Structure 1
Amino acid sequence: MRMIAVAGAGLLLGLAGCGNESGAGVGTGASLQGRTYLSTAVTEDGKPKQLVPNSRIRLTFSDDGRLIAEAGCNSMQSAVDTGDGKLSLDKQLAMTAMGCDEPRHRQDGWLSKILTSDPAWKLEGDRLTLTSGGTTISLTDRETAEPDLALDGTKWSLETVVSNDTASHQVGSEKAWITINGERVTGSTGCNELQGKVAQATGKLTFGEIATTRRACPGHAGKLEQTLLSGLKGDVSYQIDSNRLKLRSGANGLDFTAAR
């Protein structure tokens, strides 16, 4: 995904390095690596802080020593050292370049400042707590908070289109969706209804020809329809992470979220 400079966090191009958990956490063998945590509560100076509606803080500690964080819109990341009970990130974060509304843009900036302030961390079972100044973020392991949804029977709404190193939210994408049931896929391009066949294998879907209704789709609607249908063609890999479905074919792909 394309990365841009973040106000107050800067631009990071090199993400080499690995985490170090010496002296961190609670209890012997406490480890963050390879786990994802979702926020359950945020307080500032002892008072609850309300996040932007329908948003949640998401922290992923990758196996290669990076922290990947989200606050409702863009994704930010950096190499991270978790030693001595602190999250030590490079003071410059890399961030995707998706457009956000102003409340979510401010929330992205707020989270980046917290993460680059060397917050203290504490892990107790599946509960992670970050503390920086008067701010406390309480999180729970993603597998406990939001188990993976089933591929079949879930209505997946299009959220992001990935093309090479760029992720974008196309106009009208919230109207596009798919549902897979066995060997059948149905849905909407945001303009026309669609249906077709799909074969399932472990981590892979193979789409047959997709048929659509014949309503004219001018402008953005036509572009979105073409993009969606291109992503539902032939062999694609898939991954489900909680309420998210990622389809990939080479450097291109489609990201969906489960419809509420």
Structure 2
Amino acid sequence: MSSRIVLAVLLLAVAGCGDRAAGQGADLRGKVYVSSSVTEQGKPRALVEGTNVELSFTGDGRLIARAGCNQMQGPVSLDDGKLSVAELSTTTMGCPNPELHRQDQWLSDLLDAKPAWKLDGANLVVTGSGAEIVLATEQPATLEGAWTVDGLVTSDAVSSVPQGAKATLVFRNGVMKVDTGCNFNGADLPYELSGQAIKVQLGPTTLKSCGAVDEVENAIRAAFEGGEVTHEIKRSTLTLTNASGAGLTLKK
């Protein structure tokens, strides 16, 4: 075999290894992707308000997936351009909205079908079962901005927000606004941030009853009753707790 042929074979071999490395080297471990667009049968698919599709690839080779309510996870393989999850398990938390259950099932069916995946620039594109999800890498959340209450915390449990109730907390330029559509109406509440501690006084409010939101308002009052809460941000979740363990979880 001539030296030119040997060289050509070596170059092809290196190139082939490079192609395989590129496919495998698109290492998704440790990354979190959040949907920026979802289409089905070529048309936009509307997700439940306030939700998205989230895919997290752990360092030990698992996929954690969410579509607004329950969490799904299992060992994942990315070989041959397929996203294959073995033994996909799902939590069984009761969702406040039946549409959330259906959305969870839709994502579970998509993952069970071993959809194709690829990177398009910084975006992850997952395609299968007539659907395409484009996901962007998650940007770290900051305290500033609007947060929606999605959990009520006591010293020993976290419960979901009652169906039909919505409450938001907005932190901006040293001012917190609480809006529940009832007794809290978005008044400016100056706050001080010291490390993880947020010091703020809610002040007096009206005490009319507004149905499902009453439970949320009581949880907000309980969280801030001492005038100080500790805040912790993990990705897009904000947890506020006081010294007695009462508090809230919120999503951005």
TM-score scaled by structure 1?
0.67
Equivalent-residue separation in structure 2 for 1:106 and 1:168 (angstroms): 18
User: Is the contact made by 1:36 and 1:142 (CA closer than 8 Å) also made in structure 2?
Assistant: yes
Q: Partner amino acid for 1:256? A: L
User: Is the contact made by 2:232 and 2:238 (CA closer than 8 Å) also made in structure 1?
Assistant: yes
Aligned to 1:227: 219
SS of the aligned residue for 1:173 comes to coil
Aligned to 1:205: 197
1:189 Cα deviation from its structure 2 partner? 4.8
Unpaired stretches in structure 1, ≥5 consecutive residues: 1-22
Q: How many residues are matched?
A: 225
User: Is the contact made by 1:162 and 1:253 (CA closer than 8 Å) also made in structure 2?
Assistant: yes
Equivalent-residue separation in structure 1 for 2:30 and 2:194 (angstroms): 25
CA RMSD of aligned residues (A): 3.5
Q: Percent identity?
A: 27
Aligned to 2:124: 128
Q: By percentage of residues, which structure has more helix? A: 2
Report the CA distance shift for 1:156/1:182 in structure 2 as closer, same or farther (over 3 A).
Answer: same
Equivalent-residue separation in structure 2 for 1:77 and 1:248 (angstroms): 25
Aligned to 1:48: 43
User: Is the contact made by 1:186 and 1:196 (CA closer than 8 Å) also made in structure 2?
Assistant: yes
Equivalent-residue separation in structure 1 for 2:87 and 2:53 (angstroms): 19
Equivalent-residue separation in structure 2 for 1:165 and 1:66 (angstroms): 27
Mapping of 1:228-243 within 5 angstroms?
A: 228-232=220-224, 233=226, 234-239=228-233, 241=235
SS of the aligned residue for 1:186 comes to strand
Aligned to 1:99: 95
Which residue of the other structure, out of 35, 40, 64, is the alignment partner of 1:39? 35
1:168 Cα deviation from its structure 2 partner? 0.7
Q: Is 1:180 aligned to 2:168, yes or no?
A: no
Mapping of 1:33-182 within 5 angstroms?
A: 33-44=29-40, 47-52=42-47, 54=49, 55-71=51-67, 73-84=68-79, 85-95=81-91, 97-143=93-139, 148=141, 151-152=143-144, 154-162=145-153, 164=156, 166-174=158-166, 176-182=167-173
Q: Partner amino acid for 1:254? A: L
Q: Where in structure 1 do 4 or more consecutive aligned residues deviate above 6 Å?
A: none
Report the CA distance shift for 1:215/1:235 in structure 2 as closer, same or farther (over 3 A).
Answer: closer
Q: Partner amino acid for 1:235? A: V
User: Is the contact made by 2:64 and 2:72 (CA closer than 8 Å) also made in structure 1?
Assistant: yes
1:65 Cα deviation from its structure 2 partner? 4.0
Which has the higher relative contact order, 1 or 2, with Cα contacts under 8 A spaced 6 or more apart? Answer: 1
Q: Partner amino acid for 1:67? A: L
Q: Partner amino acid for 2:35? A: S
Report the structure number with the largest CA radius of gyration. 2
Report the CA distance shift for 1:254/1:133 in structure 2 as closer, same or farther (over 3 A).
Answer: same
Equivalent-residue separation in structure 2 for 1:186 and 1:43 (angstroms): 35
Q: Partner amino acid for 1:199? A: E
